[in-house]
Structure formats: structure tokens, C-alpha cells
């Protein structure tokens, strides 16, 4: 969905922000209490209590008749001090800064506008790194220079990809429109900068400087692979072309990124507002009641308003016996975002123009060139081989579906909205089993426990032993 430098470094951040904040609150509260205990001890005895013994000593004196009045006075004052200082601490916590982890564990991402701020900050850091790489190239042929250039390029890639990946995810799934809008702005900023990097002649010169001195330095297999892929990516993006052609390529990259963003946003906005009006009697036995909104206050009304999201539509197609209701759900889900037709046509034209400008036959040729298949003919042969191997099985399955529809509806003409329903029906009959019987085994607690078991297999058992004990 976007252009990027082809290498990156992924880091796992083992910081649970919620637990960290809870611990900080507890620690601060405990600190103020202990400090107050020490003050009380000095007021009563004129001496300083040791950290280990001061709590037990304070409790002993607190229950003493001799110091009852002083203790009451101290308790009030200590609580006032504690509440004041803890309130200041919590207020500071609200004012998070660039060095505090926020949404997606990105440093500084606490409010929607922060997305643009961290994108601009990442671009600024990358420009500084780029200047450092150019200066390193001018220092000479010392072996350490080559590794510094490689790691510098990897650092640039990591910084831009960390932000753009989070922005891409956020603009697609976040429920808050402000978060989606600012994530889209951040995505556009980083996307434009990546296009600029991919046509940067001086950056390519640094990489070429490293690759031409491979004989002088012992690179690992991973480092060699990185150099080769990075050079191929630069060259595939037209680094060898003239200035005006590279400028045209950069403009096409930006235009394509805007179209891709518009395509995704149209789907997201449409999903939020798209609803189905369906007969209640057709779906109320398998759609939860809280999804069914009556069209009027009249309880006798048979129609309900249902959100047209993927999960509900798939459930209707699989379980609804009324073919007209299935057709309504299918057509609504697949034709509701009509504005994307123009976007898709423009996107296809822009991708083709970019591909031919870079010397490829088509966008498919450009996309496949560095993939395992390498060209369109191999993809076609692969698909034809799969079709040949399963052709007989398809014919048998289709015959079963047609017979089932003939029995239930009186005709055997299968429509796209019929296939999920009859597949589910035949499976239930052949195996004397209904998928709803599995539901209790896939509750939230069960799935969470399964995730923990899976993580236990992947990561060190000591990291997850507290979770497993629960």
C-alpha cells in the first residue's frame, strides 16, 4: 500500500504502559506515606527512624495513648500532603511528552495531533542521519565506514517504517475519526518522504560506495543480501533516470499513495454508516438482539436495522434460509461503496504509467519482478495447475450444492449468495454437527488462555509463568 525502503529493524518493546503507570502511582503513594512516617517519628522522638523499622515503630506509637493527639494531627496533615503531592504527580502523568510511550507504544503518541508531530520528528531525524551518511562517505575507505553506512540506512528505514506502519493501521481500524484523520496526515507525510528517499541520488551514491568496496571488507551473508536488495530497489525506482523523469516518478508515487488512502478511507467511512433493513423473522434466531435496531416504536413492525459489517453479513449468508434476505445482504455489502470505482480506475492508470516509465510492461510485471514467481506467465501456470488438480472435486461439490438447493427451493441455479448457506447446510448434515455447538469452546477466556499457551511456546516460559498461574 505504500513505498518504503526495503529493509528495516523490528524491535519488541516489552513495556506494559498500564502496569508501569499503576506501579508508579503505588510507588509514589508509598513513598509519601513512608516520608510522613519518618516526619512523625522525628516529631515524637527527635530521632530519625531506619527505613526498615519506622513503620512498625510508628504503628506502636500511633496506638499509644500518650501520642494519640499528635497522631491524629499528623494523620490529617500527612493525608493533606499525600493528596497534594499525588495529585501533582497524576497531573504530570497526564502531560505526557515525546519520551513517554503512547498508542501502539510509539513515543509521544498520546493525542491525535501527536501523529503529525512524530511523523515530522521522524523525518527530521532521518534527514540528520542522511547528512551523517554523506559525511561518512567522504571520510575515506576505512572498514568501519562501510558498516556505519549500512547501519545508518537501516536506522533511517526503521524510523520511517515504525511511524508509517502505525499510521496505516490506525487510519484503517481506529473508531475515532480524529485519530484516523491525523493518522492519514502522518501517513501522507512519511509516504512522500519515502518517495523522496527512493530517488535520492546521494543516498544511492553512499550505497554504491559500499558495494564497490565489498572485496575490502568481510560482510556477513545478511549484510550482502541487504546491499543487493537495497540497490535493486533504488534502481527499480528509477535512480538511473534523468532528473525530470525522477521528479515525475516521485509525483506518481505521491498520487498513488493519495489514491490508496482515499480507497481505504471510503471503505472505512462507508462501513460506519452502511446499514441493512431486513425482516426480523429471518435473522433474529442467530443475530444477537443488541444488533437489531427496530425501525419504529411499533413492536409489531417486522423490519429491523442491522449494521452491514463483514461479520454480520457472513453470518446472514451462512445461516439465513430466505434467499431474498441473503441476496439483499450480499448485494449491499459488495456494491455499497460505489465511489471507489472511480478511485480504482485512476489507481490502475497511475500504477500503469509509473510501471511503464520505469521500463516494465505493466504494474503486474513490476510487482512480480522481485517475487518468487518473477513474471505473469508463471503465476498463470501456477493457477492453471491448481485448477486442474481440483477440477473434479469442484464438480462433485457443486453437484451437492445444486441438489441441496433443488430440495429446499425447487431449483438448482446457484447464485453467489447461495453458496455459503448450502455449504454450511451440507457440512452440518454430513457430520451431524452444527457450528453453533462449538461456540462455548471459543469464549473470550478460552481464546485468551490459548493465546497465552501459544506465546509460551514462542517466548521464554519465565516471561509468561505469572499469566499461566492465573
Confirm whether pTM is higher than 0.75.
no
Mean pLDDT of 65-73: 42
Give the C-alpha separation, 470 to 462, whole Å: 14
Condensed to tens digits (0 to 9), the pLDDT of residues 278-330 reads 888 888 777 877 777 765 544 556 788 888 888 889 989 999 999 999 999 99
**Residue appearing with cell numbers 490506525:** 170
Task: Report the pLDDT value the prediction gives residue 190, as an integer from 0 to 100.
Answer: 93
Q: Once rounded to an integer, what is the mean pLDDT over residues 403-424?
A: 93
Is residue 48 scored above 70 in pLDDT? no
pLDDT band of 163, cuts 50, 70, 90 = very high
Residue with the bigger pLDDT between 439 and 112: it is: 112
What nine digits make up the cell of 453? 499457551
CA distances from 316 to 319, 327, 442 (A): 5, 10, 20
Q: What pLDDT score does 112 carry?
A: 93
In the chain, ranges of CATH 1.20.1050.40 domains: 103-240
Mean pLDDT computed over 212-229:
83
Mean local confidence (pLDDT), 459-469: 47
More confident residue, 191 or 49: 191
Write down the pLDDT at residue 330. 93
**Are the C-beta atoms of residues 167 and 115 closer than 8 Å to each other?**
yes
Distance in angstroms (rounded) separating the CA atoms of residues 79 and 40: 13
CA dist., res. 338 & res. 336, Å (int): 6
Residue 29 has pLDDT above 50, yes or no: no
Q: Is residue 456 very low, low, confident or very high in pLDDT (cuts 50, 70, 90)?
A: low
pLDDT score at 144? 81
Please check the confidence at residue 68 and state whether its pLDDT lies above 60: no
Enumerate residues 6+ apart whose C-beta is below 8 A from 437: none
Q: Residue 3: pLDDT above 50?
A: no
Task: Tell me if residue 285 falls in helix, strand or coil.
Answer: coil
What's the pLDDT tens digit per position in 167-207?
A: 989 988 888 889 988 998 999 899 889 888 988 999 999 98
Give dist(CA 265, CA 256) in Å, integer: 14
Does residue 74 surpass a pLDDT of 60? Answer: no
Decide if domain 103-240 falls under CATH 1.20.1050.40. yes
Q: How confident is the model at residue 82 (pLDDT cuts 50, 70, 90)?
A: very low
Tell me what the pLDDT averaged over the chain comes to: 75
* Mean predicted confidence (pLDDT) in 227-249: 87
**So what's the pLDDT on residue 438?**
66
| Per-residue confidence (pLDDT) for residue 395, from 0 to 100 | 94
Amino acid at each position: 500500500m505504500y513505498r518504503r525502503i526495503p529493509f528495516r529493524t523490528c524491535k519488541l518493546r516489552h513495556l506494559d504502559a498500564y502496569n508501569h503507570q499503576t506501579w508508579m502511582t503505588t510507588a509514589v503513594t508509598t513513598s509519601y506515606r513512608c516520608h510522613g512516617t519518618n516526619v512523625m517519628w522525628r516529631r515524637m522522638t527527635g530521632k530519625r527512624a531506619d527505613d526498615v523499622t519506622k513503620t512498625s515503630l510508628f504503628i506502636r506509637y500511633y496506638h499509644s495513648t500518650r501520642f494519640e493527639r499528635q497522631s491524629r494531627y499528623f494523620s490529617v496533615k500527612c493525608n493533606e500532603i499525600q493528596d497534594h503531592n499525588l495529585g501533582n504527580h497524576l497531573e504530570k502523568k497526564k502531560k505526557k511528552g515525546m519520551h513517554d510511550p503512547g498508542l501502539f507504544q510509539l513515543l509521544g503518541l498520546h493525542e491525535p495531533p501527536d501523529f503529525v508531530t512524530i511523523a515530522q520528528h521522524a523525518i527530521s531525524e532521518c534527514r540528520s542521519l542522511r547528512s551523517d551518511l554523506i559525511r561518512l562517505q567522504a571520510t575515506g575507505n576505512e572498514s568501519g565506514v562501510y558498516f556505519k553506512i549500512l547501519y545508518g540506512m537501516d536506522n533511517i528505514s526503521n524510523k520511517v517504517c515504525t511511524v508509517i506502519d502505525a499510521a496505516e493501521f490506525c487510519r484503517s481500524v481506529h473508531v475515532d475519526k480524529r485519530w484516523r484523520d491525523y493518522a492519514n496526515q502522518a501517513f501522507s507525510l512519511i509516504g512522500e518522504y519515502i518517495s523522496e528517499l527512493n530517488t535520492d541520488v546521494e543516498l544511492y551514491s553512499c550505497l554504491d560506495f559500499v558495494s564497490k568496496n565489498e572485496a575490502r571488507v568481510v560482510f556477513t551473508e545478511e549484510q550482502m543480501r541487504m546491499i543487493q536488495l537495497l540497490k535493486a530497489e533504488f534502481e527499480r525506482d528509477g535512480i538511473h533516470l534523468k532528473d525530470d523523469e525522477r521528479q515525475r516518478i516521485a509525483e506518481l508515487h505521491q498520487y498513488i499513495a493519495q489514491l490508496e488512502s482515499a480507497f481505504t478511507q471510503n471503505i472505512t467511512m462507508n462501513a460506519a454508516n452502511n446499514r441493512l433493513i431486513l425482516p426480523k423473522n429471518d435473522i433474529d434466531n442467530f443475530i444477537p438482539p443488541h444488533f437489531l435496531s427496530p425501525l419504529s416504536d411499533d413492536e409489531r413492525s417486522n423490519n429491523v436495522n442491522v449494521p452491514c459489517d463483514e461479520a454480520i453479513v457472513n453470518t446472514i449468508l451462512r445461516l439465513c434460509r430466505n434467499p431474498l434476505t441473503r441476496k439483499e445482504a450480499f448485494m449491499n455489502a459488495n456494491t455499497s461503496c460505489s465511489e471507489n470505482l472511480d478511485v480504482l480506475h485512476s489507481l490502475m492508470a497511475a500504477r500503469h504509467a509509473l510501471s511503464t516509465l520505469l521500463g516494465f510492461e505493466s504494474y503486474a510485471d513490476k510487482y512480480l519482478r522481485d517475487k518468487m514467481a518473477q513474471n505473469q506467465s508463471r503465476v498463470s501456470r501456477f493457477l492453471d495447475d491448481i485448477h486442474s488438480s481440483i477440477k473434479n472435486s469442484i464438480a462433485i461439490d457443486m453437484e451437492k450444492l445444486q441438489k441441496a438447493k433443488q430440495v429446499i427451493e425447487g431449483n438448482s441455479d446457484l447464485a453467489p449468495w447461495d453458496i455459503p448457506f448450502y455449504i454450511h447446510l451440507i457440512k452440518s448434515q454430513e457430520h451431524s454437527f452444527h457450528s453453533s455447538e462449538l461456540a462455548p469452546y471459543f469464549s473470550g477466556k478460552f481464546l485468551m488462555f490459548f493465546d497465552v499457551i501459544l506465546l509460551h511456546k514462542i517466548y521464554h516460559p519465565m516471561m509468561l509463568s505469572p499469566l499461566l498461574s492465573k
